[in-house]
Amino acid sequence: MQFLESPPRFLFFTGKGGVGKTSIACATALQLTAQGRRVLLVSTDPASNVGQVFGISIGNHITPVPTVANLSALEIDPQAAAQAYRDRIVGPARGVLEASVVKSMEEQLSGACTTEIAAFDEFTALLVGSSQTDRYEHIIFDTAPTGHTIRLLQLPGAWSGFLDAGKGDASCLGPLAGLDKQHDQYRKAVEALCDPVRTRLVLVARAQNAALREAAHTHEELATLGLREQYLVVNGVLPGTEAEKDPLAAAVYTREQLALAQMPEALKPLPLDQLPLKAFNLVGIEALKQLLRDTCDTEGLQPTVVHIDAPSLSDLVDDIALDGHGLVMVMGKGGVGKTTLAAAVAVELAHRGLPVHLTTSDPAAHLAETLSGSMSNLTLSRIDPQVETQRYRDHVMATKGAALDEQGKALLAEDLRSPCTEEIAVFQAFSRVIREAGRRFVVMDTAPTGHTLLLLDATGAYHRDIARQMEGSSMHFSTPMMQLQDPKKTKVLLVTLAETTPVLEAANLQADLRRAGIEPWAWVINNSIAATTTQSPLLRKRAENELEEIEHVANEYARRYAVIPLMAEEPIGVERLLKLSKKQPRHR
């Protein structure tokens, strides 16, 4: 493995949910300790399963792993860190400021950016060094900080007064108000991250176009900030030997090899390692020791025959179609197939003769590629995030920035470069489309995150302004947020995969939405092997492993759900998209 050659002290593993970051980080720790190195394994994943992997309880303190000499582990709890962080900032305001102001502060600090920065706040001490960590030769981080967090920490120290004076806008820079006393520590931490002698960043992806595009985006963002010591690991590649045993396996193999051959140019110069797909769950030390081997032995596999009796996408569309119109929002983390699902729902509704407007904020316009054609009753549009964000920035600078001095304008302009600005701008553009849902179906791909919804509603923006203006009036009024909260007008579909991390991430998104008063209508489990008739021993074993996650969704998380099988053909074009909503065989 190239990424393990002459490893520096700090190794960071980053990538979207479900690509195998935790497993690879744990396997790396085992390999280094086997060489006699003292290793500390740190997880900042809110759904960390490091303890489960090693069969022990770890938690938010350094804990020796009894079964592995020289290995200790630490699970930073981002939610607990975020709560402590909020208490530190909001606490002094309680009893001093009005309750409405305190509530607004709490809500502004309730989003994903606060959690991310608070977790960074926790592990900067590990980068800078302390008596607790100096004894370790290697510190391995599962889930590295994003480029957006590092850029925030590089900002000038003038934020606190600027934000306190209310000159900033609704963005993720609010959490910076609590960082002003620790600038020196953050400066040293960022220096350590950008030092190739001390730090190596490992991008983890799957052999899929979406995952590789996301890895390329992360690579470019972090390289711009000075983190240039980067390696690429493509995990879970189906071995060519399986392609000989089954048509579905052959199709998956061909698709993955094509994605690797056509990976984004930005990734091609990086040192590349490929790890074959394993048939077994990566839990336990013996399983992890096999992960970094570049072979996959499927001889002797005896997978059980899988029978699932799960609802299909067709069942969900039947219920959606009953109203004749309405808003369908497709949400989920990157790489789970939101775009494909949104297109499949829109195409099926249009195929039934219903009027549909399908819209997306995908900056690369992959929705048009997915449709690959047109059909009656279906209108397609694309919201350009760059155009909408610039329009929003111009408006804020022309209004809120008009009375500021040059320094104030410069700080406001920096505030408006935060990632949340784009989320808010895109949501405003979505809001204009939402109004159409009263007369036809509007299907939205790449819906705004729960964090953005909280900012828009709870920090006061549009909804509170309208409600205050209409107070005491008998006139009826409606805001986009009210429409999203009305289950009769909006159906939210959460998309996930039948794997541990994607399911937990979807559950976290569901919790975010519920805090915003939005109840997801259904879950969709995409690309399920358990719903296919594959004869590949490796894939059949993977199908067996999926059953537990499907059970979790069906019994713990979802009010209603559907399972979409992994397709032999890439679901591109109207005819193939229609196949996704057809009832599939439920046995193998």
Annotated catalytic residues are 18, 20-23, 45, 501
In the block, tokens 């809110």 appear at 46
CA nearest 54: which of 22, 77, 80?
22
C-alpha pair distances (Å), 164 with each of 148, 168, 174, 408, 456: 22, 9, 9, 13, 19
Instruction: Give kind and range of the element (H or E) at residue 116.
Output: helix 112-128
Please enumerate in sequence order all residues whose Cβ is within 8 A of that of 565, keeping only pairs 6 or more positions apart, or say none: 527, 528, 529, 531, 532, 584
Please, are residues 172 and 120 in contact by the beta-carbon 8 Å criterion? no
**From CA 150, how far away is CA 187, in angstroms rounded?**
10
Spatial contact of 361 and 329, defined as CB atoms under 8 Å apart: no
Which residue is listed with tokens 């690309």?
527
Structure tokens at 196: 């190739």
Q: Is-contact 22 49, C-beta < 8 A?
A: yes
Between CA 276 and CA 281 the distance in angstroms is 13
- Is 325 exposed, middle or buried, given 0-12, 13-18 or 19+ CB atoms closer than 10 A? middle
Alpha carbon distance 120, 67 (integer Å): 29
**Cα angle at 513 between 564 and 526, to 5 degrees?**
10
Decide the pairing of beta strands 63-64 and 272-276.
unpaired
The count of residues in the chain is 588
The angle subtended at Cα 270 by Cα 265 and Cα 274, nearest 5°, is: 100
SS (H, E, C) 175-227: HHHHCHHHHHHHHHHHHHHCCCCCEEEEEEEECCHHHHHHHHHHHHHHHHCCC
Residue 339's contacts (CB-CB under 8 Å, 6 or more residues apart) are: 360, 362, 366, 367, 370, 445, 446
CA 57 to chain centre: 26
The residues, ordered by sequence, that sit 6+ positions from 309 with a Cβ below 8 Å of its Cβ are 586
Signed CA dihedral, 205, 207, 210, 212: sign only: positive
Half-sphere exposure of 481 (CA within 13 A, CB side): 24
Q: 235: closest CA among 386, 534, 4, 23? A: 23
